[in-house]
Structure 1
Amino acid sequence: MQRVTSTAHRPLLSSPSVTHIERLPARAGTRVSWPAWASPAVVAACRARGISEPWAHQAAAASLAFDGEHVVLATGTGSGKSLGYQLPVLTRLLDDPRATALYIAPAKALAADQLRAVAGFGLPDVRPATYDGDTAREERDWIRQHSRFVLTNPDMLHHGMLPGHERWATFLRRLSYVVIDECHAYRGVFGSHVAHVLRRLRRLAARYGGKPTFILASATSGDPADTASRLVGVPVTAITEDTSPRGATTFALWEPPLLEVDEGLPQVRRSALRETADLLTDAVVSGTRTLAFIRSRRGAEVVAAVTRRQLDEAVPGLGDRVAAYRAGYLKEDRREIERQLLTGELLGLASTNALELGVDLVGLDAVLICGYPGTRASLWQQAGRAGRAGEPATAVLIARDDPLDTYLVHHPSALFGRPVEATVLDPGNPYVLGPQLCCAASEAPLSTADLALFGSGAQAAVDGLSEAGVLRRRPTGWYWTHKGRPDVDLRGTGGAPVQVVESSTGRLLGTVDAGSSHVMLHTGAVYLHQGVTFVVDDLDLEDAVALVHQEEPDWSTHARDVTDLSVVSVRSYVDAGPVGLFLGEVDVTNQVVSYQRRRLGSGEVIDTRPLDLPPRELRTVAVWFTVSPRAMEAAGVEPPDFPGALHAAEHAAIGLLPLMATCDRWDIGGLSTANHPDTEAPTVFVYDGHPGGAGFAERAYETAAAWLGATRDAIAACGCETGCPSCVQSPKCGNGNNPLHKPGAVAVLDAVLAALSVAALPVAADPSPDLSPQAAAALP
């Protein structure tokens, strides 16, 4: 694979594995004069860095922000959004030596990248500094007292800065700008939590006299002005016309070839990981600077290791120019890899989506995307990492052996020429609002005037929290009643990360989040770290430490788990004869029970070894419907097709629920079965993927007829024959989208809707219902 302008690029595009080539034409840029208000020192620094004049969209956003208007700059990857906020922020900091600014990014790597960029302006009075979990304790006091441009993330703002706001009083009083970078990353329940963290920030800044202007930067999204307004809580103006130049992009869809197998055995395709490693190898050999996005951390390590080995076999030492990048690396390792990629020391990098966000990766020629990332927004964000500064680029989507990926590479219209998804978040969600009001009250008593800041549901929420004894009402407001701070996890990671330590040396290799530790760090697991293979000796869950030793086994490990769902209680139900509709609490239990050792190369299973790990239980809220077997057969669904029909209906129902509840499909889980032990009938469950529930299942129950009707219509109206991502396939299916029976799903939903049409359905509630007793009980 070569640069687009090279004739050596043609063999890639003529490969029989390429199912479609989309050519996106080059686009000229539009420059404008520097705004008259811009600081001469900032303009001079930009010119010294090769920026003669700003792009029109940069100047438009910067001028709105300079005039005090909240603005979101939503343009393509590599369009120079950073200058849109750097120009007004740095100008203000230079014009007013007392002013301060806050930059918030969803990832540490992005904040570190912006620190390099701001420091590169050479403006000593600004004193930029990152303030995050990696910041040494001795540096934090200096930053609070002296830094005028603090770069952080929502987690540190939530856990560190806002609870300790008295120590940040001077900074907050002088706060002029708040920059929220990559704001499209704040979606679902996480985004709803961050929305209230920003409201808490606005509240405390006003308490000390500060009234900052918000500047948001976003990848292209369905409705950036509305999304940004809901995130910040104030009206936001959107700048969406991208006036930066863009080189021609060649986007190829790639389907790995079928493998030769013995007669009588089912055919399988070559793995997407192996194909990606081969393409990355070819790219590095040809001098093409390439970033490969891999869906899993283990996959990123495997692709990097295979690529290095193949390169060293071809040209000894060339493998050193390829690395892996993922969450869990130590800060020093991450920064070094980023530096090597920026300087060109690395020609190839296999990364998880940790590099999907706006780290400035100048000079990349190509991007490989191993498996559809789940949304068109992510796909274009990843593809946009190549071809910066107007240079031509290549992007390749390599399909996994999965029905969803297979469909996409054979139906390019599902990807190209369609708008990206809107970012979904709901600050009014009472399961988010209640805990966040507790956080606000613990920082400073909540007054009646404060409640308007948190939305129309805040009054009902504090009343419910007061009844539950969590808050206490006094003449001066609502007070937090406990000694410690509320324990609210913004991201739902499930606890402290597990440290990976080399047994013989005590060296800390990295960390793995608690939610992934059972799969990645069980005893006997093969753990890859920057191309070096380790085997886990012991996983100590109590101390959150995994001890490993270096080894080169000729096998890999694959954890096997089981998931079960049991009904705890029923809050409400509708008896519709052969159909039942229910709302209640459920326990979703997942347990890693064993692991397979598989021979490298052949994939032959050597053995299966048991594991003794504790189950993980999620108590949450679910909506579910049952259909009697007789009604299924009467609808034309035969018993062998029960699982596929119910599974397809489950997927489509999850995909359509955001129409009724302000949620993201990644916030929702589902399970379907031809005979559930608690219901003794064919059943489809849809549940909130958050402890205690998040309100989505309740909304689904309240709008069941409309929700399931829209689901049925979406499946029936889709022009595909057997199911596709537009109807019954899911990007997050743990069973590889198998089995699915599209006609059966329509028949099942017809039967459900017919029965519910004559039953007494619940009346749809207001989108922001009062805090229920169950929701209050789930609060900290």
Structure 2
Amino acid sequence: MNPHDSLIPLLGRGPDPEQLRHVRTIPAREAVHAPWPEWVHPDVVAAYGTLGIHEPYKHQVHAADVAHAGRHVVVATGTASGKSLAYQLPALDAIHRSELRVLAEPGRIHDDGAVTLYLSPTKALAADQLNAIRALKLPTVRAETYDGDTDPASRRWIRDHANFILANPDMLHFGILPNHAWWAGFFRRLRYVIVDEAHSYRGVFGSHVANLMRRLRRICAYYGAGTSFPEPVFIAASATASDPDTSFSRLIGAPVEAVSTDCSPHGATTVAFWEPALTEARGENGANVRRTAVAETADLLANLVSARIRTIAFIKSRRGAETISAITKRLLDEVDPSLPQRVAAYRSGYLPEERRAVEKALRSGELLGVSSTSALELGIDISGLDAVLVAGWPGTRASLFQQIGRAGRAGQDAIAAFVASDDPLDTFLVNHPEAIFDVSVEATVFDPSNPYVLGPHLCAAAAELPLGTGELALFGPSAEGLLDQLVAQGYLRRRPAGWFWTHSQSAAAMVNLRADGGGPVNIVDADTGSLLGTMDSPQTHYQAHTGAVYVHQGDSYVVEDLNEDDHCVMVRRANPDFYTTARDVTQIEVLETQRTATWGDVSVHFGEVKVTTQVVSFQRKALISNEVLGEEPLELGARDLFTKAVWFEVGNRSLTGAGLVEAEFPGALHAAEHAAIGLLPLVASSDRWDIGGVSTALHADTGVPTIFVYDGHPGGAGFAERAFDKAKVWLTATRDAIRACECESGCPSCVQSPKCGNKNNPLDKAGAVTLLGVLLKDATEAMPPAPAGCAGWGQDYNRPAPADGSTG
């Protein structure tokens, strides 16, 4: 391959490295400006002028005009396209004019004031926005953050006096809505609600936030918010996404207009598709394994930092971010002892001062390299970056474009590299860049009607204000049935005026926005007794079992004890040259079939299932090569998960007619299931760890060979249903990915799974291709529509989910 591109050598492997599979160039884009809207106060225009912003982009004006006119709007454009100004303009103009009226008539009570509520998924993003607003130096704007880091002594002042409050969904849920009476003055004047990085609200988290938005709208209506408008105007900022108006409309439960034409400038970005080379190490089936994406990315980051190129390396996991940082520092120390201190890790779970210090050092250029989770993917304003590395598929095309868009924000040409991990989807995409660049970006998938999510939110809503029958439409057609069950369970009481919260516990405490079940578990240093961090309870069986390796700010610890009763994990400092991965066994039971499609002799189903999972052992794997160093059993209890699944049933006769013998059925089904799980993010905005699967040559409920793929969250997350809707596209890509893999009998890049409870045995790569051919023989694109309403809510909604979505 000869990319003929001068930026490729910056990665440190020469002009035509063997790891380079493809090169794509995102061309530079010229700016398209528009005049300031006539309705914007001259003081606001002048404030932007002091920052060097003398003319907005056309899309900024369009979105601001829609919001100013009183209509909900989502601006869905690329990274660094100035989405902030689009929502700041109407909000700051309204606040400024309101405050000027107060100053002009002191002593008069004004009932047409204006305040703004800004919501972001991360504290870092809110802090960044606060700095941006304060930089305008508008004396009428009193902007403050209101989150878990806010000094309790400051909270009352902020509630009573701030007119631009920056919070997150967690604080809205736990701190604001349950205490809405204290916020009555704020809600009466609430003109705009800004939802930043709206595309990040997907899956179960998105389902929670969608119900939270409905509760917010309900409280606003109670206080009569919005003097000029019947309710606050919701403005969303989102990455480029498919049908952003539909997604945001579903999130807030109201019609939305979309602005998606990006008129901002951007430097050209060279995107390298990079696949690590095979190593001498052998995998479980004896085949050579690839170098890990973590080790490869650390090498590339060290090369770029050595050349004084400012770089962010993104990876999905906290452990991965810590490991990349540690390996990079070790490599740089051999080159220049002054460089390791200019590299850091960044992830959630750090203390606030640690996060702020890294953000400040990255902006100033003091740091040359940062390895980060998606926490830095979001709209934090960091210009001047020259390179971005993406270690492993980030989950969606939208996330990939967000991440690589971090480079070149100052207008310079930049380089980005997608480093494939040993995973079927990564292998497919690194060799098929058209599947990223030549198709539309995914729609955001979430399900507000998920009964495990909606039920607790109905309790929280009733605790805030008794729920009237006229409000049920806001929460969807399944709400009334869930309310009846909540009454039967003693959580609510039905009266002529509606449903009332009668339980002694906090209704808000029944909802965990970002996880499912069990609450947080403390990670404690056994030597010092200090609190290192926290972990969601469902993750502990996978990441905090006895013997697991836990990493915090580059320091490695080994878990000595998992105490589930006291929600505590004791760890001790160590320096292992391996990481750990848990293994589980899974059984699945069909509870209800809700949708069915017939493809000749094959039937495709979607419905409710019960998944029983038990973590039974863990493996130690070498950091660099991924080689298995050993395995130890674990004695942990089984966990039940009630969720949604898509499954495929095929008769023995169809498989034998295609040339498979019955002894090959288990290996073919197992291999196809693994590969399908790996490829599902291609059609659903899921993370691989959001989903799990089971395959069997004779399932008790179906009586035939069956493959199940299920959502790894109670009640489902919407991914399995998306898989049902896109089944033909999904399975075709799965078959193509297995065929294209260069291994002989199966490897992690095609049919092996890192979490297989059966030690990736049996697996039949060739049999999987044959099986998928049988499934696709009479496949059709069109699938039957979803039925109206929602199946009932018959289980305990606080049941924990597998943290990672187990594979069979």
1:526 matched to which residue of 2? 549
Indicate yes or no: 2:775 matched with 1:720: no
The structure-2 alpha-carbon separation of the partners of 1:181 and 1:262, relative to structure 1 and needing over 3 Å to count, comes to: closer
What amino acid does structure 2 have at the position aligned with 1:289?
R
Q: Is the 8 A contact 1:321 1:348 kept in 2?
A: yes
1:440 aligns with 2:461: yes
Pairing 1:405–2:426 present: yes
- For 1:618 and 1:568, the matched residues in 2 are separated by 12
For 1:306-705, what aligned pairs fall within 5 Å after superposition?
306-463=327-484, 465-466=486-487, 470-486=491-507, 487-553=510-576, 555-567=577-589, 585-596=609-620, 607-620=630-643, 622=645, 624=647, 627=650, 629=652, 632-647=655-670, 650=673, 668-676=691-699, 682-692=705-715
Q: Displacement of 1:234 after TM fit?
A: 1.8
Out of 213, 217, 234, the residue aligned to residue 214 of structure 1 is 234
Tell me which residue corresponds to 1:760: none
Name the amino acid aligned to 2:44. V
Distance 1:46 1:590 in 2: 57
Contact 1:304 1:324 in 2 (8 A): yes
Question: Are the aligned partners of 2:612 and 2:640 in contact in 1 as well (CA < 8 Å)?
Answer: yes
Query: Which of 39, 55, 60 is residue 53 of structure 1 equivalent to?
Result: 55
Contact 1:582 1:625 in 2 (8 A): no
Deviations 1:612-662 (A, max 9, x none): 444443244556565554553245332354235434665798799999999
How many Å separate the matches in 1 of 2:322 and 2:687? 29
* DSSP-derived class of the 2:178 partner: coil
Shift of 1:281: 0.5
In the alignment, which residue of structure 2 is the partner of 1:284?
Answer: 305
Q: Which amino acid aligns with 1:745?
A: L
Matches within 5 A, 1:194-205: 194-205=209-220
Distance 1:127 1:419, change over 3 A: same
- Is the Cα contact below 8 Å between 2:195 and 2:235 reproduced in 1? yes
CA contact (8 A) 2:295 2:623 kept: no
**Aligned AA (2:713):** H
1:551-594 C-alpha deviation (Å, 9 max, x unpaired): 334x32413321211438678999x9999979664232131534
- What is the SS of the residue equivalent to 2:334? helix
Alignment map for 1:66-81 (pairs within 5 Å): 66-81=68-83
Q: Is the 8 A contact 1:527 1:536 kept in 2?
A: yes
Shift of 1:677: 7.0
Task: State the number of aligned residues.
Answer: 758
CA distance in 2, matches of 1:82, 1:631: 56
The answer as to whether partners of 2:425 and 2:737 remain within 8 angstroms in 1 is no
- Aligned mates of 2:734, 2:625 — CA distance in 1: 39
Note closer, same or farther for the CA distance 1:610–1:182 as it changes in structure 2 (3 Å cut): same
Distance in structure 2 (CA, Å) of the matches to 1:599 and 1:25: 40
| Bigger Cα displacement from structure 2, 580-589 vs 191-200 | 580-589
Which region of structure 1 is more displaced relative to structure 2, 584-593 or 186-195?
584-593
Aligned-partner SS, 2:287:
coil
Match of residue 757 from structure 1 = none
Structure 2 residue identity aligned to 1:36: E
The structure 2 residue matched to 1:151, chosen from 162, 166, 172, is: 166
Deviation at 1:27, TM superposition (A): 1.0
User: 10-19 vs 64-73, which deviates more?
Assistant: 10-19
Give SS of 1:314's match: coil
Matched, 1:258 2:264: no
Check whether the contact 2:521–2:537 (CA below 8 A) recurs between aligned residues: yes
Identical columns (%): 50
Q: 1:730 deviation in Å?
A: 9.6
CA RMSD of aligned residues (A): 4.0
1:779 Cα deviation from its structure 2 partner: 8.4
Which residue identity does 2:656 align to in structure 1? E
Given that 1:430 and 1:695 are in contact with CA atoms closer than 8 Å, whether structure 2 keeps it comes out as no
- State how far apart, in whole Å, the 2-side matches of 1:463 and 1:493 are: 23
Between 1:503-512 and 1:206-215, the stretch displaced more is 503-512
Assess if the C-alpha contact under 8 Å between 1:460 and 1:770 holds in 2.
no
Query: 1:337 offset after TM fit, Å?
Result: 0.9
Residues 734 and 544 of structure 1: CA distance in aligned 2, closer, same or farther (over 3 Å): same
Range moving further from structure 2, 350-359 or 518-527: 518-527
1:183 CA displacement: 0.5
Give the letter aligned to residue 572 of structure 2: H
Shift of 1:293: 0.8
Q: Does 1:232 align with 2:252?
A: yes
Q: Is the aligned partner of 1:246 residue 2:248?
A: no
Equivalent residue of 1:192, what SS?
helix
Query: CA separation in 1, counterparts of 2:752 and 2:140?
Result: 48
CA 1:158–1:281: 2 relative to 1, 3 Å: same
Q: Does 1:36 align with 2:38?
A: yes
1:298 positional shift: 1.3
Check whether the contact 1:460–1:771 (CA below 8 A) recurs between aligned residues: no
Q: Give 3-state SS (helix, strand or coil) of 1:340's partner.
A: helix
* 1:365-401 CA-partner distances (Å, limit 9, x unpaired): 1000111222211111111111103221111011123
Of residues 279, 285, 296, the one that matches 1:275 is 296
In 1, Cα distance between the equivalents of 2:607 and 2:9?
61
Determine the structure 1 residue equivalent to 2:203.
Answer: 188
* Deviation (angstroms), 1:452: 3.1
Query: What letter matches 1:687 in structure 2?
Result: Y
Q: Secondary structure at the match of 2:529?
A: coil
What does the per-residue CA deviation read over 1:10-66, in whole Å, with 9 as the maximum and x for residues that have no partner? Answer: 965422221111112211112222223223333233222222221111122122222
Aligned-residue offset at 1:136: 3.3
For residues 306 and 777 of structure 2, what CA distance do their matches in structure 1 show?
59
Unaligned 5+ runs, structure 1:
701-705, 755-762
Give the structure-2-normalised TM-score.
0.84
- Residue 135 of structure 1 aligns with which residue? 150
Deviation at 1:313, TM superposition (A): 1.2
TM-score (norm 1): 0.86
Q: Give CA deviations for 1:277-326 in whole Å, capped at 9, x if unaligned.
A: 11100100111000001232212111111110111111112100001111
**Contact 1:652–1:715 (Cα < 8 Å) also in 2:** no
> C-alpha distance in 2, partners of 1:406/1:254?
10
8 Å CA contact retained: 1:430, 1:769: no
Q: Once the two structures are superposed, what CA deviation does each residue of 1:86-140 show, in whole Å capped at 9, x if it has no partner?
A: 1221121111134211011112221122122222222344222222223333332
Distance in 1 of aligned mates of 2:626 and 2:173: 45
Name the CA distance, whole Å, in 1 between partners of 2:250 and 2:502. 29
Paired AA for residue 792 in structure 2: S
Letter in 1 for 2:613: T
Query: How far off is 1:693 after superposition?
Result: 5.3
- Seen in structure 2, the aligned counterparts of structure 1 residues 643 and 215 have a Cα distance that, compared at 3 Å, is same
Report SS of the residue matched to 1:389.
Answer: coil
Distance in 2 separating the partners of 1:262 and 1:650: 23
Which shifted more, 329-338 or 409-418? 409-418
